[in-house]
Structure 1
Amino acid sequence: MPITEQQLLQLLPNARPVACIFLPALNQAMTRYKIDSPVRQSAFLAQVGYESGQLRNLVENLNYSVEALLMKFNRERIREADAKAYGRAAGRAANHQAIANCVYGGAWGAKSLGNKKPGDGWLYRGRGLIQITGLVNYTPCGAALGLDLINHPELLEQPEHAAMSAAWWWASHDLNELSDAGRFQDIGSVINTGKPGRLPHGADERKALYDRALRVLV
């Protein structure tokens, strides 16, 4: 059943400026990928709501401090010298492009994300409501949605494609089945870490959104 704008705003009140734009996009995406029960919709909307800052952020925020870079990413992904050179510090803004090319490029990026060319880390940084990241994800996503995401990755910044790409990723990783089984934390773990069984970043906020969604939709 399609959700209403009132329900969307009960769940994601900070989305008010964009709710009327995203509502049809979300309903279309959820219908196409069978996110079609209150439990599935609650899990999906909670996770994409968290990942996108309540539908307001469609491109990954790479505004990391030096300390955050060193804490979040291992030295295989960014060397200490590069973190100190590119991270945000007193009197200096973060170099977002250089950070993306470090943490999503190099040998790790080629192996894990299919980012083999210089600059692929930045070009295929996280976009959409669930942060599609890396050429290994942009390629099948573009094929599934009929979009040239290889040459135009910025298409995922449009509400329709941002929502549809999230629903595609959701279905591609069998998250409807995890929703049906009530394995909400595992859903966040798959999205955030690539595997179930781990504690995702923002676990408490994700769960709070899910609990609210269940009250609104079930």
Structure 2
Amino acid sequence: MLTRELMMGLFPKSSQFMNDYLPSLQHVAQQRQITTPRRIAAFLSQVGHECGGFTVLVENLNYSAGGLAATWGSRFAEKNAAGAYITVMEGGRSRRVPNSDAQKLHRQPEAIANRVYSNRLGNGDEASGDGWRYRGRGLIQMTGKSNYQQCSLGLFGDERLLTTPQLLEQWRWAVESAGWYWSTRNLNALADGDDFERVTRAINGGLNGHAQRVALYEQALNLMSQTSAG
């Protein structure tokens, strides 16, 4: 069921990479028992959202000051005396006002990664460089030293991803790491149920982009249903 036609229907912009990723994707789907319509649709919608429709394998942290304020408001947006965000209207939309930290980090992706991912996910402090070293990679945007370590042990039986995290920017390992993550968190069981929101929370930690994930999920089910009926 995980065919070239299905991937083209869902992610047409990935056509230039399809020969690179599709064999690995088909292998991992079998290996991780992602073989029913619900499981396939859930997996593709989630990882497809995370990796820009099978086109992006490393996290883009080239945020503007305004982007930082919008994404990490608690760190990078101005607040008033009551603790509420200060906003301005731009282009008919309300936007948070960036603080001085956001201004300093404007369009500095490495510094941004080292700031926002420091002292969490197994990373060291800002000066360690772990935030940038272990930024999001692979189909599922694996992030943080501890996740890289666990994934490395799961895929290779050693810790090579700690010294060569760029392996997750190769299509094979980008796909394999997503399969590992999916399997170790028992997401097939969630996909078998009717609560797709729980799948999103398991992947994202919240509900960022949930509506887009749902749309992809429903599109995938529809495309597989049409193929089956044909």
TM-score, normalised to structure 1's length? 0.86
**What secondary structure, in the 3-state scheme, does the structure 2 residue paired with 1:149 have?**
helix
What code does the residue aligned with 2:115 have?
A: C
8 A contact 2:76–2:101 mirrored in 1: no
Show the counterpart of 2:219.
212
RMSD over aligned CA atoms reads 1.9
How big is each residue's C-alpha offset from its partner over 1:156-183, in whole Å with a ceiling of 9 and x where there is no partner?
0000100110111111222111100022
What code does the residue aligned with 1:212 have?
A: Q
Structure with greater Cα Rg: 2
1:150 aligns with 2:123: no
* Alignment gaps of 5+ in structure 2: 79-98, 226-230
**What secondary structure, in the 3-state scheme, does the structure 1 residue paired with 2:124 have?**
coil
* Alignment gaps of 5+ in structure 1: 88-93
TM alignment of 1:76-95, pairs within 5 A: 80-87=99-106, 94-95=107-108
* Partners of 2:187 and 2:77 in 1: CA distance: 31
Deviation at 1:155, TM superposition (A): 0.1
**What secondary structure, in the 3-state scheme, does the structure 1 residue paired with 2:162 have?**
coil
TM alignment of 1:68-107, pairs within 5 A: 68-75=67-74, 80-87=99-106, 94-105=107-118
Show the counterpart of 2:190.
178
What code does the residue aligned with 1:97 have?
A: E
* Partners of 2:148 and 2:5 in 1: CA distance: 32
* Partners of 1:73 and 1:173 in 2: CA distance: 26
Deviation at 1:65, TM superposition (A): 1.7
Percent identity reads: 40
How big is each residue's C-alpha offset from its partner over 1:33-92, in whole Å with a ceiling of 9 and x where there is no partner?
1212111011001111111111100000112121221232254689943321012xxxxx
8 A contact 1:185–1:203 mirrored in 2: yes
Deviation at 1:185, TM superposition (A): 1.9
* Partners of 2:130 and 2:101 in 1: CA distance: 17
Further displaced range: 95-104 or 6-15? 6-15
1:125 aligns with 2:125: no
* Partners of 1:192 and 1:81 in 2: CA distance: 28
Deviation at 1:120, TM superposition (A): 0.2
**What secondary structure, in the 3-state scheme, does the structure 2 residue paired with 1:161 have?**
helix
What code does the residue aligned with 1:6 have?
A: E
* Partners of 1:210 and 1:185 in 2: CA distance: 11
What code does the residue aligned with 2:208 have?
A: H
What code does the residue aligned with 2:56 have?
A: N
* Partners of 1:208 and 1:16 in 2: CA distance: 20
4+ runs deviating over 6 angstroms: none
8 A contact 1:78–1:102 mirrored in 2: no
TM-score, normalised to structure 2's length? 0.82
8 A contact 1:175–1:187 mirrored in 2: yes
